[in-house]
Structure 1
């Protein structure tokens, strides 16, 4: 038996060597990957050199990016509703109309319930902002007077905080004007989002067949399977992350209301949206809550810290594992690295989209590697049999 197995193993090795020698270098994976990378770098180089010719295209892309992003987000949130309705014999136009009625009802209900509270808190915060800035400056000055008693790293942190506060105080007026201008521009661009949503709900099933029709045989099957898996990855991430963030926002709101923190609703909504950024977002959301607590009553800082700690423990140990599971299958260190790199490249948009884009790229590469492996194994077995 050992001798037979040895012969079989030797024959398999010989078959692999013959297969390897018979494949031209231009068809090997490492050569094709290297050529692809070089071509991509060359295209980027020429694109940078003649970027002036593509300026109108860049303007168009920047104009439609936000509406397209919002439309895509709404699509993945409402597509399960559309699928549910169409399983119950709703025609396509009726399911789309029902989705829009549902969205309008949700937005109207939220605006009726929490709109006045948000308006009241925003107006109060805007009116008290100069006083808040002054209080922060007084706290910084208090610690500056005692800086000799503090470690060196805390002295540097206090100096940096004082410079930031002075910059905010000097640029407050211009910053508010820019914020208001950007807000209305955003509202104008978001008008386009419903149009993107309509066409996504209407024709989303045609996208994969349209792309795959340019391929034949096994390549067509590979493209279809890859695009379907990418779609599942994005869908699971968007739906799961939004649900997790909603749960975290509700927990923060309840906690802030219990301890009597001012601007609780605004801070909870901010925490909800920041939680869309994995790992880093929750810690960003707690900073303004700690500042408000420090100004209102320093004792509340402990309460805010406890609320954030409890919310994050519940979210990480109970909510996320049950809602998202291991949807992305990405190591936490990789997530943090991707967020930092994407933030340096594309700012806040990169931070927000870095992880899902990385997950999509990982899915494509994994499927491509799996396909190449199956081809090699099939070719090897055929050569061995001969």
Structure 2
């Protein structure tokens, strides 16, 4: 008769606890948003805190100094750029109907053009369905952007609470680490520390590096579009910055959206926008990314494309943004637990 040994029992109990915690967090996830934002903010600011600590400041004063500096920068952004961004968003929202009509006119012209071509009825029906699908997709994208903007405004309290929570996380980081390690069996602490460092290396490469790159690309794109007198340059630059976090597809999405908006103004501007964004993406891919990231995440391009498509299917744009780092973390955890099972 099969008899369970102590190690197997411990694994089963541990797995049960993990599943129980996962179910608990699923029940309370609506209130977790500020905590996730706080963890993200603390992780981003941690290198700056460490830098000022090395310069002689205490951790608390380093956090206060960084918060004070960021508040000055944020205030400057709010008073100088936020009104312009909001004005562009409002203007963009007001012109969406006209853009939709213009897009429909392009589709109508295309339909009239290809209707003159002698195509079999089956192919013509498929083409009509594809055109209708594209039109519906554009409308859904517009609705999705609007809903996302409204959702961000509805989470104002979470954005206010997050920095407060992040302050405590940053100030007591070592205490939290020590407390967490003390909860673990002594024999597993070294393994957990090594595992944490590997995960930190992945997140450091992806999150911190890509945020820096996204900001640089967004700023350069905005300035370039302003120079050619492109409408909604700030909105497109902001959108490009966010989409740039998504490997491969992000740059493509940004170019398609920018060119589509420019095309509704003039073909000449659309050509300029296409050339500018193509040059910026080439600079980002061949100059900026290698300097900032310094290393890849260890995933084959085919694997990256697969997880991006899976992430997009499961969670939309947010799913695509999170797909690669989550996959890398899961691979690290999978290898860790497989090695532990082999050692049993």
Interval of TM-score (by shorter of Structure 1 and Structure 2): 0.7 to 0.9
C-alpha change, 1:368 and 1:100, in structure 2 (3 Å) is same
Q: Please give the alpha-carbon distance, in whole angstroms, between the structure 1 residues aligned to 2:149 and 2:213.
A: 30
Q: For residue 170 of structure 2, what is the aligned residue in structure 1? A: 201
Give deviations 1:30-52, integer Å, cap 9, x for gaps: xx7xx979x969x97x999xx8x
Q: 1:256 aligns with which of 201, 225, 228?
A: 225
Q: For residue 7 of structure 1, what is the aligned residue in structure 2? A: none
C-alpha change, 1:114 and 1:353, in structure 2 (3 Å) is same
Q: Which has the higher contact order (CA 8 A, sep 6+)?
A: 1
2:32 matches 1:58: no
Q: For residue 216 of structure 1, what is the aligned residue in structure 2? A: 186
Q: For residue 75 of structure 2, what is the aligned residue in structure 1? A: 108
Q: Please give the alpha-carbon distance, in whole angstroms, between the structure 1 residues aligned to 2:136 and 2:325.
A: 36
Q: Please give the alpha-carbon distance, in whole angstroms, between the structure 1 residues aligned to 2:4 and 2:294.
A: 42
Any stretches of 5+ residues in structure 2 without a counterpart?
none
C-alpha change, 1:336 and 1:323, in structure 2 (3 Å) is same
2:105 matches 1:132: no
> Alpha-carbon deviation of 1:92?
2.4
> Alpha-carbon deviation of 1:163?
4.1
C-alpha change, 1:238 and 1:162, in structure 2 (3 Å) is closer
Q: Please give the alpha-carbon distance, in whole angstroms, between the structure 2 residues aligned to 1:259 and 1:149.
A: 37
Q: 1:267 aligns with which of 236, 243, 262?
A: 236
Q: For residue 8 of structure 1, what is the aligned residue in structure 2? A: none
TM-score (norm 1): 0.74
Q: CA RMSD in A?
A: 3.6
Any stretches of 5+ residues in structure 1 without a counterpart?
1-23, 377-386
> Alpha-carbon deviation of 1:245?
0.8
Q: For residue 242 of structure 1, what is the aligned residue in structure 2? A: 211
Any conservation in 2 of the 1:233–1:327 contact (CA below 8 Å)?
Answer: no
Q: Please give the alpha-carbon distance, in whole angstroms, between the structure 2 residues aligned to 1:87 and 1:179.
A: 40
C-alpha change, 1:367 and 1:321, in structure 2 (3 Å) is farther
Q: For residue 91 of structure 1, what is the aligned residue in structure 2? A: 58
Q: For residue 67 of structure 1, what is the aligned residue in structure 2? A: 34
2:295 matches 1:326: yes
Give deviations 1:252-274, integer Å, cap 9, x for gaps: 22332233221111101100011
> Alpha-carbon deviation of 1:289?
1.0
SS of the residue aligned with 2:295? coil
Any conservation in 2 of the 1:147–1:155 contact (CA below 8 Å)?
Answer: no
C-alpha change, 1:346 and 1:209, in structure 2 (3 Å) is same
